Structure 1
Amino acid sequence: MTAGPGADADVCVVGAGPAGLMLGLLLARAGVRVTVLEKHPDFLRDFRGDTVHPSTLDVLAELGFEERVAGLPGRRVRELTASYADGTFRVADFTRLRVPHPYVLFLPQWDLLEMLAAAAAEYPGFTLLRSHEVTELLFDGLGGPASGVVALAADGRRTEVRARLVVAADGRRSVVRDALVRAGRGLSRREFGAPMDVLWFRVPRWPEDPEGLAAQIGAGRLLIMIDRGHYWQTAYVIPKGGRQTVLAAGLDALRATVIELAPWLRGRAGAVADWDDVSFLEVRVDRLRRWHSPGVLLIGDAAHAMSPVGGVGINLAVQDAVAAARMLAGPLRGGAGAAELAPVLTRFQRRRMLPTMGTQLLQRWAARGVIGPTLRADVPVRAPAAVRLMDRLPFLRVLPAWVVGVGLLPERMPPAAAAPSARAAARQDLPTAR
């Protein structure tokens, strides 16, 4: 067993998604040696979570990346509408947020990830190993803390990456979490039911189409339309376990439903040519009771799988990364090992558990109170009183915009990682955030 490139890092991050690369970048800027492992050779995959929320845009601006982001092919969306049997109603208005970026940016995630990877590569302490699939954890003796990972490269070569801390940022099917279970260090999980699953596909968008985010609600059916400029990224929400029913009904029935819910798409639903154009998302909402084990920290979906309601999963994961970087950079620079890091990991979870629980509670309320009844309805659905009220009183639309766009506990950048202009304006007490 040989140690390959990237061995002996301070931190090994598993998963080069938005949270993993953000954490690696922030720690590298703070002087911590970081190795990030990604099982794929590149980022050119069809992501569904292509939203960059205002609080994430603020983080990118504090890093000095505003011009880089502006050069990417994104589309700004400023409001959310919902169409019921009795009309179309405006339910969220991001322009009312008093934040530097009062909009949601829909951006191909591969462009965002390449930008973050390129920025992180500017620091000598950062290493990104692509085509390295993590298969197991290394431990410091029997019963000792984790001390790194084993990964298989594309050519089959076995590579060890030793580190004082392993961070699992590898999503809801976390390999690191599974390795902890195999090692008898499993972390118990609370699972919350979800009444729906989602089918995703694309439909061409024409210039005369409506703009922004739109929910189309029918009898027992729900369609979410995401304006991506030249196409609609479309989510067809189905009852939990209803995938086989949709498949049995056939593509013609799916296309007919799309046209019925969004009549302006007539003539374009044929772009969904076969089932290969439709991807399936099994909706899960869960969270670990404990997000860490000696030598290991779990963040993002690896610690708490989010529903697609509000599209907040990526934003929450990035906020996890910012908080982790702020709280861990100092101890890691000081040479802290697993024992010294343990109380820091506990404080991190205590801080991030509150927004996670609150967001999941709101998602579960929306699922039980809005989505579930809609999917069970056998007659046209009229707008609930709360939706009609938000349309009538514009100032109320800031509430869902804040929950979706900013979040319940937005994190601040660690001063050592911020761009010089932002660092100069930072408060002096930030390095000691609790």
Structure 2
Amino acid sequence: MAASTQCVVVGGGPAGIVLGLLLARAGVRVTVLEKHADFLRDFRGDTVHASTIRLLDELGLGEGFRALPQSRLGNFRLPVAGGDPVVLADFGLLKEPYNYVAMVPQWDLLNFLVEAARQEPTFTVLMNTEATDLLRDDSGAVGGVRYQTRDPLTRAVVGGGELRASLTVACDGRGSVLRSQAGLVPREFSVPFDTWWFRLPRHANEDEPVASIAPRFGTSDVLLSLTRKDYHQIAYLAAKGLDPRLRAEGVEAFRGRVARLRTDLADRVGAIESMDDLHLLDVKLNRLSRWHKPGLLLIGDAAHAMSPAGGVGINLAVQDAVAAARILASPLLKETLDDGHLAAVQKRRWLPTLVVQTFQRILHRVVFAQVMAGKPPKPPKPLIFALRTFPAFGKLPARMIAFGPRPEHAPEFARRKP
């Protein structure tokens, strides 16, 4: 016999957990399915922008969030050929307390949000539980999911079943299983690079500011270092499709690439013990033209995969979740949900998605594509002039990156006092 809930959310990332928390605070019975045993996975986005920090304050969770291990990023810099980088976005120009980007390990953030959601009697999260297919009724509308459960140690399948729901929300990322099952195909945009993530040790006597981002540009590659308290989280960016060649060259050659770009880190590249220490991100930039079918809604990367440029993906997905909760909570409780409500979520979030992806495509073209082709980056000259001549101009891109083109506020039903 199938279990039932009002809303099943597939995917326990930031969008899925935030949506589950908000709907539960409205009194909706919501079940989140997360296929992993925990949230401890390296090299996932962990830049928490001002829009998300403000949301947490509105939810009464700001104090707890600020107690999590974190550091602050004060600006983003843009490389310029033949000169020093210019500050593209100076978050210090924004109004306190939302004048920075928080660098927070995503597993800490997700554990924190899940604990908050578990305070709500209508919230359930099922770990080691993976949605494998959509359930459909006689009309073809989606009515829930089939799932399988795995042993947390062996990862062997140990069970499964059906979970019926009035609404199924796919938050299962850029490789969304539910998107494929629904027959939805995103429009893909060209991306000039892939990213290989790894860590290098950070010595106690290093004086580089914690949470700084230090890009180094080579002849056809980029090394981006996110300085953390105890380590450097490194992103190596090179031409898309280069992974087979890098792995064929071997670990010594890769260490040489890193040492060439960051001579100050050459003394520790031995920490890259093998090519298995590199975590490839196949960078994608895409979006669906339609985010919904009857009974099914897709948000976050499942609806629009974002490039890591600007670190905005998590925050855009969280804002999708906030908009969805505000629009859908009441019809779910009243059992009046229809496809028009789902369309309203897409309508609300379409323009922000379009604006951010357009910005990323421009950044790809004027910076990353140039570098991958062995040319210097070419940011627009009027932009460089404005940034260098009028430092306060940096407030505009700072606000766009920090809050996005349409920041969402917590719905009244979800707000709590600290």
Scaled by the length of structure 2, what TM-score is found? Answer: 0.92
**1:137 and 1:383, CA in 2 relative to 1: closer, same or farther beyond 3 A?**
closer
What's the offset of the Cα at 1:131? 0.9
What's the offset of the Cα at 1:178? 1.6
- 2:321 counterpart residue number: 321
**1:398 and 1:217, CA in 2 relative to 1: closer, same or farther beyond 3 A?**
farther
- 2:30 counterpart residue number: 34
**1:83 and 1:365, CA in 2 relative to 1: closer, same or farther beyond 3 A?**
closer
What's the offset of the Cα at 1:78? 0.9
CA distance in 1, matches of 2:126, 2:17: 12
- Unaligned 5+ segments in structure 1 are 181-185, 422-434
CA distance in 2, matches of 1:391, 1:51: 26
- 2:355 counterpart residue number: 358
- 2:154 counterpart residue number: none
RMSD across aligned positions (CA): 1.9
- 2:153 counterpart residue number: none
Number of corresponding residues: 407
What's the offset of the Cα at 1:88? 4.1
CA distance in 2, matches of 1:389, 1:271: 42
- 1:140 counterpart residue number: 137
What's the offset of the Cα at 1:406? 1.2
Q: Tell me if the contact between 1:299 and 1:320 (Cα under 8 Å) persists in the aligned partners.
A: yes
1:412 to 402, 409, 413: 409
CA distance in 2, matches of 1:382, 1:176: 39
Within the alignment, does 1:209 sit opposite 2:208 as a pair?
yes
- 1:176 counterpart residue number: 178
CA distance in 2, matches of 1:218, 1:321: 38
Q: List aligned pairs for 1:22-61, cutoff 5 A.
A: 22-61=18-57
Moved more, 212-221 or 105-114: 212-221
- 1:167 counterpart residue number: 169
Q: Tell me if the contact between 1:82 and 1:217 (Cα under 8 Å) persists in the aligned partners.
A: no
**1:275 and 1:137, CA in 2 relative to 1: closer, same or farther beyond 3 A?**
same
Moved more, 213-222 or 8-17: 213-222
Secondary structure of 2:329's counterpart equals helix
What's the offset of the Cα at 1:383? 7.6
What's the offset of the Cα at 1:129? 0.8
Q: Which amino acid aligns with 1:28?
A: A
Secondary structure of 1:10's counterpart equals strand
Within the alignment, does 1:74 sit opposite 2:73 as a pair?
no
**1:250 and 1:257, CA in 2 relative to 1: closer, same or farther beyond 3 A?**
same
What's the offset of the Cα at 1:229? 2.0
Q: Which amino acid aligns with 1:230?
A: D
CA distance in 2, matches of 1:96, 1:213: 18
**1:164 and 1:108, CA in 2 relative to 1: closer, same or farther beyond 3 A?**
same
What's the offset of the Cα at 1:106? 1.0
What's the offset of the Cα at 1:333? 1.4
Q: Tell me if the contact between 1:136 and 1:151 (Cα under 8 Å) persists in the aligned partners.
A: yes
CA distance in 1, matches of 2:202, 2:85: 19
CA distance in 1, matches of 2:366, 2:389: 21
What's the offset of the Cα at 1:398? 2.2
CA distance in 1, matches of 2:54, 2:131: 32
CA distance in 1, matches of 2:97, 2:329: 27
Q: Which amino acid aligns with 1:343?
A: G
Deviations 1:145-166 (A, max 9, x none): 1111111112522221111000
Secondary structure of 1:159's counterpart equals strand
Secondary structure of 2:86's counterpart equals strand
Deviations 1:250-307 (A, max 9, x none): 3333323323323322312222221121110111111111000000000000001111
Q: Tell me if the contact between 1:194 and 1:283 (Cα under 8 Å) persists in the aligned partners.
A: yes
- 1:224 counterpart residue number: 224
- 1:18 counterpart residue number: 14
- Unaligned 5+ segments in structure 2 are 151-156
Q: Tell me if the contact between 1:94 and 1:401 (Cα under 8 Å) persists in the aligned partners.
A: yes
**1:188 and 1:246, CA in 2 relative to 1: closer, same or farther beyond 3 A?**
closer
CA distance in 2, matches of 1:404, 1:126: 32
Scaled by the length of structure 1, what TM-score is found? Answer: 0.89
CA distance in 2, matches of 1:44, 1:210: 25
Within the alignment, does 1:235 sit opposite 2:235 as a pair?
yes
- 1:264 counterpart residue number: 264
Q: List aligned pairs for 1:103-118, cutoff 5 A.
A: 103-118=100-115
CA distance in 2, matches of 1:265, 1:392: 34
- 1:158 counterpart residue number: 160
**1:384 and 1:177, CA in 2 relative to 1: closer, same or farther beyond 3 A?**
closer
Q: % of aligned pairs identical?
A: 46
